[in-house]
Structure 1
Amino acid sequence: MEESKIIKDKRVLVTGGAGFIGSNLVDVLLDQGNEVICLDNFSTGKRENLQFALQNDRFNLIEGDIRNFEDCVAAVQGCDYVLHQAALGSVPRSIADPMTTTDVNIGGFVKMLFAAKEAGVKRFVYAASSSTYGDHPSLPKVEHIIGNALSPYAITKYVDELFAKNFSDIYGIETIGLRYFNVFGRRQDPNGAYAAVIPKFVSELMAHNSPVINGDGSYSRDFTYIENVIQANQLAAITPTIDFKEKLKHYSESIGKLHDPTCTISEVFNVAYGERTTLKELVENLKSALAIYDPKITDIEVKYGPNRGGDIPHSLASINKASVILGYSPEFSLKTGIDQAVKWYKK
């Protein structure tokens, strides 16, 4: 990316920095000459994800919990930006244990946001979720139209957006939420009960087992490669306030929405590629990519199971708002992303 579109020579806190998305952000930020602080309690993150970062003298690991306000305060000191990735993901996990999901995703979020405000952080970029769109049937999904939440996880991520807007209005801290759509890529864990679909399918196919699709395979998703997410986080952090507000004004006018230019920045953006793929098509793409290394994978049959509770049938993002205001332009399609991800899983 161009230097004008990256974070460089700053002090950045990445919460959940030992996780899949967080550790990829940590590595890129270090490569760009930043000082990076990682706050993680390793409940889902892995130390092995930080093996390169730990060799860098500009990296500081704080083993702590976002539910502990003192840890949040310590982590955010002197930071220019916060990239808040720490959360308990997974719709099924939230249905099985809504209390812990709420405690982490809302309680921890508010503590982290308040600590950032107290430390004078100008802009707080956080991981939001496409699950916020809930049962609204329209496609593509646009940021200002949402439905009813279908899981405790979805509720927590929407409540985070409400708190972010409230803190911006009251305290003046700039907040930007990035509604991720089905992110995949290197370091995404294929193991565990709540593994995401792509690494889970890759793991099964590599073991010559039949992957199990929930439903008949017609459900579709807007799969988003990790590099696109890294781009969006950086643009969200560094887009100048004046430019941001001017472009937001024009975007708001284009959708017939009133905008007050005096308000502190508090917006949400879809982060996706902007194309949808059925689960059946996804498996075929994965089989093709893996068959380059192991031709026998081509003949593996797919199994079908019941639909999963809390899932929506289809998801597709409009990325127009992020494109217009942030200059977001995803470089990796599903196919190019899968090719890169498979190379990593085959190592």
Structure 2
Amino acid sequence: MENIFHEEDLGNSSFLITGGAGFIGSHIAEYLLKNNAGKVRVLDNMANGLETNLDILKTYSSFEFIEGDIRNIDTCRKACEGIHYVSHQAALGSVPRSIKEPFSTNDVNVGGFVNILMAAVENNIKQFVYASSSSVYGDELTLPKREDKTGNCLSPYAVSKMADELYAAVFAKVYNIPVIGFRYFNIFGPRQDPDGPYAAVIPLFVKAIMNKTPAFINGDGEQTRDFTFVENAVQINIKGMLTTNDEAKNKVYNVAIGENYSINYLYNFIKEYLKIEVDAIHREPREGDVRNSLADISLAKTLLGYAPTTKFDGGLIKTIEFFKKLYSDKKSQA
């Protein structure tokens, strides 16, 4: 990532990234380290984090790692000591997993969130930003999605993220901590977990097509998503942590491109780019999924100066190349 999203000297500032060994968190941590932040501490229990992501971060002298769980309040307190800014990315993601595991989804995403918020309050954090989700729009059908109009949640995951937004608003009022939330719309990019039962769709498609094995598409594939390259999520986290605009604080923002594409389009793009012909297999629609997703990003543009730097096609090519190399390297080592 070459783009710069800050103007300040970061040398005297310390940052905590929860879930920093994971997909989005490691990109945020790497940006800060590359740009000479004074201290970048990562808290991760390694349930979803990857050692390969930590290996990238460990090459910087200002990196610190705490292996621990946000469900433990003492761990959260320790992680927040001496920190100026918090970017909270740790969570149990995935709509299907939340339907299977509502208890653990709630424990991590709600209980853990309250822990890290409270620890931030106790340590007088300057600014706290956190990952919410476009899933909070639920059955609200209006497109594009605007922050002030949500519907009924369709999964325990969506409920957990809605609860986070409610807690954030209350903490901002009661404890006077500046809090900013980000409703991520289908963030994708290098380092997304390609394995496991809840692997992301783009690495799964690349893997299936490269191996000439069928990929599965839920439903007819005409459902649409506002696919958002990870660099744009990094940008909003940096701008959110460092903003001096009081009007921008204590709000939630859509983080997206403002364009949507169907799953069929996505699959065909990857297939054509890789020049490998293999048809997808359509199966039953997935429970808890929304049909169409498209964000209005004008609020983030106006108040945080958010301006997506990488659009869908450009980000998708970078992502395909990353996983193409990953899978090729794995094959050659086998």
TM range (shorter): over 0.9
Q: Which runs of 5+ in 2 are unaligned?
A: 326-334
Residue type at the aligned position of 2:30 = D
- State the TM-score, normalizing by the size of structure 1: 0.90
Q: Which amino acid aligns with 1:47?
A: E
| Contact 2:255/2:297, CA 8 A, preserved across alignment | yes
User: What stretches of structure 1 of length at least 5 have no aligned partner?
Assistant: 249-264, 292-296
- State the match for 1:12 in structure 2: 15
SS in 2 for 1:193: coil
Q: Which amino acid aligns with 1:209?
A: T
Paired residue for 2:181, among 153, 177, 182?
A: 177
Counterpart check, 1:75 vs 2:59: no
**Partner amino acid, structure 2, of 1:18:** A
CA contact 1:221–1:277 (8 Å) conserved in 2: yes
- What is the match of residue 306 of structure 2? 328
**Deviation, structure 1 residue 5:** 4.7
Select 1:338's aligned residue among 293, 305, 316.
316
1:117 aligns with 2:121: yes
> Measured at CA, do residues 11 and 59 of structure 1 come closer, stay the same or move farther in structure 2, by a change above 3 Å?
same
Tell me what 1:259 maps to.
none
- Out of 43, 47, 55, the residue aligned to residue 43 of structure 1 is 47
Deviation larger for 90-99 or 45-54: 45-54
Secondary structure at the counterpart of residue 83 of structure 2: coil
How many angstroms does 1:288 deviate by? 2.4
Paired residue for 2:30?
A: 27
Q: Structure 2 CA distance, aligned partners of 1:336 and 1:138?
A: 28
The CA distance in 2 between the partners of 1:229 and 1:55, in whole Å, is 23
1: CA distance, partners of 2:47 / 2:280:
32
Distance in 1 of aligned mates of 2:304 and 2:273: 32
1:187 partner amino acid: R
**1:91 aligned to 77, 90, 95, which one?**
95
2:236 to 227, 232, 238: 232
Q: Percent same amino acid at aligned positions?
A: 46
Residue 51 of structure 1 aligns to a residue whose secondary structure is: helix
Residues 192 and 7 of structure 1, relative CA distance in 2, 3 Å threshold: farther
Match of 1:274 in 2: 258
Secondary structure, aligned partner of 1:301: coil
Preserved CA contact (<8 Å) 1:7 1:238: no
Structure 1 window deviating more from structure 2 (89-98 vs 197-206): it is: 197-206
Verify the 8 A CA contact 2:206 2:324 in the aligned structure 1. no
User: Alignment length, in residue pairs?
Assistant: 321
Counterpart code for 1:170: V
Per-residue deviation, residues 281-335 of structure 1 (Å, max 9, x unmatched): 11111112222xxxxx1x2112110000000100000000000000101011110
Q: Does residue 1:194 correspond to 2:172, yes or no?
A: no
Secondary structure class of the residue paired with 2:58: helix
Distance in 2 of aligned mates of 1:6 and 1:152:
39
Give the alignment partner of residue 272 of structure 2, picking from 273, 288, 309. Answer: 288
Residues 3 and 199 from structure 1, CA distance in 2 versus in 1: closer, same or farther, beyond 3 angstroms? closer
Query: 1:156: which partner in 2?
Result: 160
- C-alpha separation between the residues in 2 aligned to 1:5 and 1:153? 35
In angstroms, what is the RMSD of aligned CA positions?
1.2
- 3-state DSSP of counterpart to 1:322: helix
Kept in 1, the 8 Å contact 2:93–2:157? The answer is yes
Using the TM superposition, name which of 5-14 and 82-91 deviates more: 5-14
- 1:217 maps to 221
How far off its partner does 1:25 sit? 1.1
C-alpha distance in 1, partners of 2:51/2:266? 30
Output one character per residue of 1:220-273: Cα deviation in whole Å (capped at 9) or x when no partner.
000000101101111111110xx342xx5xxxxxxxxxxxxxxxx310000001
Q: 1:184 to 1:4 in 2, by over 3 A?
A: closer
Counterpart amino acid of 1:38?
A: V
Counterpart-to-counterpart distance in 1, 2:22 and 2:162: 21
| Pairwise CA distance, 1:75 | 0.6
Give distance in 2, aligned partners of 1:54 and 1:78: 20
Separation of aligned partners in 1, 2:216 and 2:117: 39
1:203 aligns with 2:187: no
Q: Distance in 2 between matches of 1:210 and 1:331?
A: 33
Structure 2: how far apart are the matches of 1:3 and 1:152?
Answer: 34
Length-normalised TM-score, structure 2: 0.94
